Amino acid sequence: MAKSVCQESVFDSVFNAHAESLVNFLYYKSGDYSGAEDLVQEAFAKLWKQCAKVPLEKAKSFLFTIANNSFLNEVKHKKVVLKFEQRGHSALDNVTPQYLLEEAEFKDRLEKAIAALPEGQRTVFLMNRIDKMKYREIAEKLGLSVKAIEKRIHKALIELRKVSSKL
Amino acid sequence: MKHEDELLAKWLSGEVTDEQVIQAEGVESLEGLKRLVTAMDNWSMPAYNAAKSLKEFKANRQPRSSKIRKINWRAVGVVAASAAILIVAWFAFFKTNDIILTAEHGETQNFVFSDGSKVWLNDGSQIVYNGKDWISQRSIKLTGEALFEVTKGSPFVVTTHLGSVTVLGTQFNARAWGDNLHVECYEGRVRVNIDSQETILTANESVRSAGGTLLTKQDFTHASPSWQNATSRFYSEKLITVCEELERQFDIKIKLKDADRVFTGTFNHSDLDAALNNICKPLELTYKISTDKKSVVIE
């Protein structure tokens, strides 16, 4: 029998392959991590329900389409707030308290600027920078062309560079 | 210069060099970009435990195996929530091995049997089958409508209150509502029986019954039942039958005057208003939906 998403082992592997990037995507979209987790459960529930109709190779874009069309943070004026963890520091020597302070301030301003980006630019930029996805992979997941992804990233960089310039 | 509005993205992915950026935007620009990229290089999201989430997911879903799971009791009159509910129960009335599968209003339900055969239940439909002896005796009692995909093996018999369908390795849709049996064969061969009447269908043939009589079989071209694409399709069916399907799909009550008018066409399951329009307009009827969206009057 051909591999079907209805088979538990196949479904499990789809979950393990994509749940994390799906949660992250929803977080980048909304700034609401627990809301994102709930939505991921819902998206997989929808996949399970439709498992007979979704071929294995379409499962990924099925999930991301659901996520992309979802609404978290529905209150319009509610600002998106994004915070990231940081492993280690950019400069390996010379990590003075002054340096750490500047680094933390820069991170804070950058996080705010990223959160202020239009959603389409923000999600794509973070998928590339944080999840380390190549443009082609992002394009596949979101059903866009690589060119469209590049345009969004270009615009995001132009905006975020303004933060770097204020020293 | 080409690619002006993708330049920085291409720089980020390494397709465009630092020098090209300096040429286009100046050294300070490049330095600003580098600073921001370097800062973000060691940013990360908190670790995600996929295994734990998957476990939670399964705990929240009704499983698909034929073993007995928890029984969901709902108060009488409570409208089904939008999640499909799989009810598995033992009834003393039937032999202890009978298992029941139900699709609630507005939902469809899928199931894979232990022999690899599959069933898709349209909403409001139910099957009862022999859980213990499945491989040697593949018999199902169907109420409503379901699509079956049957693997080769022992005879696979689906009985409805109107007639039965016997199969050997094939795919067919059986619809038994009211007094209209409608069977479509998508693949393989299927034998349809009503009392002593019998018809054999091969791929893309269908047969209907009316008032206990098996009618002449017909050909069709569509590749799968329309309800699988969230659409209901009708060929010269009485309006009352169409409205019954509407009631099931949208979980509403319809008050109808001309029950015997004949309708040919389709409606989609996503929008009640559009569905009613599709049905009423060709018949020059009007409809009114109540404010609570639970009842409709057609005249």
Q: What is the pLDDT of residues A65-76, one digit of tens each?
A: 888 877 655 555
Q: Which residue has the higher pLDDT, A72 or B32?
A: B32
Beta bridge partners of B255: B297
The pLDDT of residue A155: 95
Top mean pLDDT of A49-53, A132-136, B160-164, B284-288 is at A132-136
Distance in angstroms (rounded) separating the CA atoms of residues B221 and B224: 9
| The pLDDT value given to residue A90 | 63
> How many domains in chain B?
3
Smallest CA–CA distance, residue B96 to chain A, in Å, is 27
Asked if the ipTM is above 0.85, the reply is yes
Q: Are B168 and B198 in contact (CB under 8 A)?
A: no
Cβ-defined contact of B54 to A12 (cutoff 8 Å): yes
Q: Cβ–Cβ of A84/B41 closer than 8 Å?
A: no
CA B228 – CA B230 distance, rounded (Å): 5
pLDDT over threshold 80, residue B75: no
Asked if residue B45 belongs to a domain, the reply is no
Question: What are the structure tokens assigned to B291, written together?
Answer: 């404010």
Band of pLDDT at residue B249, cut at 50, 70 and 90: confident
Residue A154 belongs to domain spanning: 97-161
Domain match, B207 and B88 both: yes
Query: Domain boundary at B226, B257, B289, which?
Result: B226
A55 and A110 housed in the same domain: no
* Residue B125: inside a domain: yes
Q: Does B227 touch chain A (CB under 8 A)?
A: no
Q: What is the mean pLDDT of residues B259-276?
A: 85
Distance CA B185, CA B205 (A): 6
Nearest CA in chain B to A148: B6
Q: Of residues B221 and A60, which shows the higher confidence score?
A: A60
Confidence grade of residue B97 (pLDDT, cut at 50, 70, 90)? low
Domain containing residue B146: CATH number:
2.60.120.1440
Strand B43-44 relative to strand A85-86, pairing: antiparallel
Dihedrals phi, psi of B25, to nearest 5 degrees? -130, -10
In this structure, is residue B74 part of a structural domain? no
Structural domain of residue B239, as residue ranges? 230-298
Domain presence at residue A104: yes
Length of chain B: 299
In 3D, which of B185, B187, B186, B211 has the Cα closest to residue B199? B185
Q: Out of A7, A87, A135, whose CB is closest to B13? A: A135
Residue B88 sits in the same domain as residue B176: yes
Identify the residue whose tokens are 């091969």.
B202
In this prediction, residue B281 has a pLDDT band, given cuts at 50, 70 and 90, of: confident
* CA pair distance B243, B38, nearest whole angstrom: 64
Which of B226, B252, B284 is the last residue before a domain boundary? Answer: B226
Report the number of distinct structural domains present in chain A. Answer: 2
Q: Mutate which of A7, A51, A90, A166 to test chain B, going by most B C-beta atoms within 10 A?
A: A90
Residues A14 and A62 in one domain: yes
User: What pLDDT does B86 receive?
Assistant: 30
Are B280 and B298 within 8 A, CB to CB? yes
* B185 and B236, same domain (yes or no): no
Is residue B58, in this structure, part of any structural domain at all?
no
Please report the residues numbered 45 through 74 in chain A whose beta carbons come closer than 8 angstroms to any beta carbon of chain B: 45, 48-49, 51-53
Query: What tokens were used for A98?
Result: 């002054």
B243 vs B255: CA distance, rounded Å: 9
The reported pLDDT for the residue numbered A1 is 54
A102 and A157 part of one domain:
yes
When computed from its CA atoms, the radius of gyration of chain B, rounded to whole angstroms, is 28
